[in-house]
Structure 1
Amino acid sequence: MNYLAHFLLAEQVAQRCDLSTDGLLVGGLLGDFVKGPLRGDFPSPWETGIRLHRRIDALTDSHPLVSHCLEALPANYRRYGGIMLDVCFDHCLSMNWRDFHHQDIVTFTSQSYRSLLDHSENFPTAAKRQIRFLAQYDVLSKMDDWRNIEAMLGRIGQRVKRDNPLGHCGPELAHLLPLINQQFAALYPNLMTQLCEEFSPNAALTHPTKVGLV
């Protein structure tokens, strides 16, 4: 999942599991920038959010619905298929936003930016730069425009040192969008159910091994 889905899942899991919405939202961003064991270097709600981010990634990467999408990609795309699908899933979420959230997407993303910027002085430098970019250009409310998806994949591809297809995979991904959208529509509620089960207040009793997994 990319940022839009991470932020939405953070809010919804927080509400359903009586956790800090701001904390999980911060983790939805910092999960891409904080690596290794969590040892209390950040506030506890942030670290819970980072654990949530990591769990979302782990569940998504191993899910059969995602594997089905990866298998549909051309063989020479599959090395970078996870990146492609992450960005495509945000497009699918944006295109079907009203199926997942009661607020309009601009209101949701604006509130998310404000919450994150309020805490950004304590973020790692790269995370601080990222949220300022997302907010300045209002990136996340514009993911329904396929041209923005192609541009985002191109920017990611430029950051990858080796040759990759991210800058020119747009037409093939667009062709596969009906399949990707279908799989995402089934994946999202599946993830929500699993995450709420694992991050609920009683998770330590019902899933003691999973709580310490990430």
Structure 2
Amino acid sequence: MNYFAHLHIAAITNTSWVGNLLGDFPVDASHLDADLLVGWRLHQKVDVMVDQHEASVLFRGMERKGRRRFAGIIQDIAMDYWLIQNWTLFSPVSLDMFCEQAVAGLVKDKHRSPERLKNMISSLEYENWLSNLGTLDGVDRAIQSIMRRWKHGEHLQGFVDDLPNVINQAEAPFLALYPDLLDYVKQEMKKAEATHSLG
């Protein structure tokens, strides 16, 4: 899952917006404030669960131009696309309202964010582009951003060349995976609450 799904999970679990994004940014977890650490840990668990889910294995094995080795990177972005496309299935809050809430929550803790995340939050303050992640252009921009930052970024070009097909391939895996993921995070939060109450 990419930024949008992690923000949705933050809202569902009532955990830190910034904390739930920190798993995608270089941080020293031992120096995080307690609320950010909860979000960071949840992000890590979500990534492992998604990576191991049978729907993800199916997606990574599909025939396409991009190399299977890097399909998980593209899956994360395509899953955000399908979450936005199917937003009313997963949230009673309107998409526009959620995007406003998410940005407001991120801005509130921007000062506790690493520099690259601060820059991302600033760009959201200037122009809230979260809902654009549910468009073909938004997916393309997200992949291009990774390609610019990552030294192996050129390996993602095949996915860009085949983008409409890649997005279509992700729809069924998303619909199979995301309800399971939401059940999983709710159970993880119940476990955490039970452990905290025993402590």
TM-score (norm 2): 0.88
2:25 alignment partner in structure 1 = 33
How many residues are treated as equivalent by the alignment? 195
Q: After superposition, where does 1:10-159 map in structure 2 within 5 Å?
A: 10-14=10-14, 21=15, 23=16, 25-35=17-27, 38-39=29-30, 41-74=31-64, 76-159=66-149
CA change 1:174–1:76 in 2 (3 A) is closer
Q: Quick check: 1:26–1:46 contact (8 Å CA) kept in 2?
A: yes
Cα separation, 1, equivalents of 2:106 and 2:66 = 37
Deviations 1:119-163 (CA, angstroms, capped at 9, x unpaired):
111222122112212332322111222012112211211212135
Cα separation, 2, equivalents of 1:78 and 1:35 = 28
Q: How far did 1:168 drift?
A: 4.9
Which amino acid in 2 is paired with 1:91?
Y
Q: Which has the higher helix share?
A: 2
What are the ranges of 5 or more consecutive residues in structure 2 without an aligned counterpart? none
SS at match of 2:24: coil
Which stretch has the larger CA shift, 159-168 or 108-117? 159-168
CA change 1:168–1:58 in 2 (3 A) is same
Deviations 1:169-201 (CA, angstroms, capped at 9, x unpaired):
235242143331111112111011122112212
Which amino acid in 1 is paired with 2:142?
M
Q: Quick check: 2:67–2:158 contact (8 Å CA) kept in 1?
A: no
SS at match of 2:156: coil
CA change 1:74–1:132 in 2 (3 A) is same
Cα separation, 1, equivalents of 2:93 and 2:27 = 32
Q: Is 2:159 the counterpart of 1:169?
A: yes
Q: How far did 1:204 drift?
A: 7.2
CA change 1:123–1:176 in 2 (3 A) is closer
Q: How far did 1:67 drift?
A: 0.8
Which stretch has the larger CA shift, 49-58 or 25-34? 25-34
Cα separation, 1, equivalents of 2:181 and 2:56 = 12
TM-score (norm 1): 0.82
SS at match of 2:110: helix
How large is the RMSD of aligned CA atoms in angstroms?
2.1
Q: Is 2:170 the counterpart of 1:183?
A: no
Cα separation, 2, equivalents of 1:142 and 1:26 = 20
1:211 alignment partner in structure 2 = none
Q: Quick check: 2:20–2:40 contact (8 Å CA) kept in 1?
A: yes
Which stretch has the larger CA shift, 187-196 or 72-81? 72-81
Q: Quick check: 2:78–2:139 contact (8 Å CA) kept in 1?
A: yes
Cα separation, 2, equivalents of 1:163 and 1:170 = 11
Which amino acid in 1 is paired with 2:25?
F
Q: Percent identity?
A: 27
